[in-house]
Amino acid sequence: MPAQIGVTGLAVMGANLARNFARNGYTVALHNRSVEKTDALLAAHGGEGDFVRTETLAELVDALEVPRRVLIMVKAGTPVDSVIEQLVPLLEEGDIVIDAGNSHYEDTRRREAALAEKGLHFVGIGVSGGEEGALLGPSIMPGGSRESYDALGPLLEKISAKVDGEPCCAWIGTDGAGHFVKMVHNGIEYADMQVIGEAYDLLRSGAGIGPAEQAGIFEEWNKGELASFLIEITAEVLAHVDAKTGAPFVDVIVDSAGQKGTGRWTVVSALELGSPVSAIAESVFARGLSSQRDQRSRAQGALAGGEAEVQLPVEFVEDVRQALYASKLVSYAQGLDMLTSAAAEYGWDLKLDEIASLWRGGCIIRAELLKEITGAYAAGERPANLLLAPAFRDAIAAALPAWRRVVSTAVQLGIPVPVFSASLAYYDGLRRDRLPAALTQGLRDLFGAHTYGRVDAEGTFHTLWSGDKSEVAAVDTH
């Protein structure tokens, strides 16, 4: 029987996706550059379903039903181009090439356009959920043509995570839309983890609560509005004790956070779109600062702290919880707002309710909160910003006193809370009647004749600063 899907690249993610397809009743053709990986997979898991062993890409293509679906799961970047180059001559019009790696959406746009010229579909799919998700049900964000989704979507929906019986997979939009949305998911993932880190630091350095006790606190938090995968695993990591030293595990880990690039890509893209994702950006920068270990060790003894004596409020732990929730909401609001800007820029019809819904299960940022976010964007009147949706507007209003107390306490104590504070600044900036951007415009006009708009008239103006300071109508030059 011909296979319904072929998978090339059988490292853990590719192998687990292949097994997931097979466990769901599909016949899966397997290929890997070195055949040992294919054989190892078959030896360990061959009984889980119907697999077809192949040794070359030509054999893989031959094993597939038409239209052929070939899923590539190799390292993002040139390895993807190299596999595509070898595959294309073997395929026929209407076949579908799928890239399930964390590829940059611009690469996906380029590859989609190039393959479309040859009559082939190229589908970049964002897959979230790590190794376990790939095997048991990830959250899947497919881009590419609508037509390709008709042939591919049912398979992806079948292997995806389910929440309330609904698949955590839906067609996102053309060309690179799927990889774009996955990238923003990762940006939110970075901010989510950073706010958790800031809460941990405040409780530890501010209130002197050790990791074991904090594990219990996070476990409790996971029962309420913060309920999410990342809060759940925070409790697990904090409870873990290092076998070698008997110390809390978190204390034996080098405090320098790695990054593979998707968080950085989110921020670069946001800068290009003019999208203010300050919380996400601060979380990427926080990883950057953590990695400058040499400068940090020199600064430790050399730079003054000037911390103030602060009496922590009795409700400090609850304050931190509320600040964490409010800051987390801001990072979701920023990420979703960035999607709105990208939709306009790239001509994608991104449905924020569907995106929030498919993030409810399988992915790293899965959280109870996403159910309400889905509801907010599914409502008749969609909020211009998530924070304006009635439920979230009220939740933030309730958390505000605690949020402000936590940020000012952190500042007094010298505990860095870049995302707690950037989120609060974004919130205050968003709601402010007049921003100092008016002064910025005045300065730009003075030194560069960049012009400005007036609050009381249409058009663009310039003041003759080096003349009699009279105002003239101007052509907008920015």
Q: By CB under 6 A, tell whether 262 contacts ligand 6PG.
A: yes
Measure the CA–CA gap between 365 and 359, rounded to whole angstroms: 7
Closest distance between ligand 6PG and the C-beta of residue 262, in Å? 5
Beta strands (DSSP E) in 152-255 are 162-163, 166-167
Q: What is the DSSP letter of 248?
A: B
Q: Looking only at Cα atoms, what is the longest distance across the chain?
A: 87
Helix (H, G, I), strand (E, B) or coil at 163: strand
**Cα 316 to Cα 62: distance, rounded to the nearest angstrom:** 64
Instruction: Select 316 or 359, whichever has its Cβ closest to ligand 6PG.
Output: 359
Reading the block at residue 251, the tokens are 């204390």
Is 258 a residue that touches ligand 6PG (CB under 6 A)?
Answer: yes
Q: How many residues bind ligand 6PG (CB under 6 A)?
A: 13
* Residue 314 DSSP one-character state: T
Task: Indicate which residue of 112, 157, 189, 198 is catalytic.
Answer: 189
65 is known as an active-site residue: no
The question of whether 157 is a catalytic residue gets the answer no
Give the C-alpha distances (Å, rounded to integers) separating 114 from 260, 342, 347, 371, 453.
26, 22, 19, 38, 43
> Which region among 19-27, 69-77, 122-130, 349-357 touches ligand 6PG (by CB under 6 A)?
122-130
By CB under 6 A, residue 259 contacts ligand 6PG: yes
Cβ-based neighbour number of residue 349 at 10 Å: 9
Question: Which one among 6, 124, 129, 418 touches ligand 6PG, defined by CB under 6 A?
Answer: 129
If binding is defined by CB under 6 A, does position 128 make contact with ligand 6PG?
yes
d(CA 67, CA 48): 25
Q: Which is nearer to ligand 6PG, 254 or 455 (CB)?
A: 254
Question: By rule CB under 6 A, what string of x and - marks binding of each residue 179-218 to ligand 6PG?
Answer: -------x--x-----------------------------
Check residue 49 for interaction with ligand 6PG (CB under 6 A). Answer: no
Under rule CB under 6 A, residue 254 binds ligand 6PG: no
CB neighbourhood size of 476 (10 A): 12
363 binds ligand 6PG (CB under 6 A): yes
Q: For residue 401, which phi and psi values (nearest 5 degrees)?
A: -55, -45
Min. distance of Cβ 325 from ligand 6PG in angstroms?
A: 22
Q: Which residues are catalytic?
A: 182, 189
Contacts to ligand 6PG by CB under 6 A = 102, 128-130, 186, 189, 258-260, 262-263, 363-364
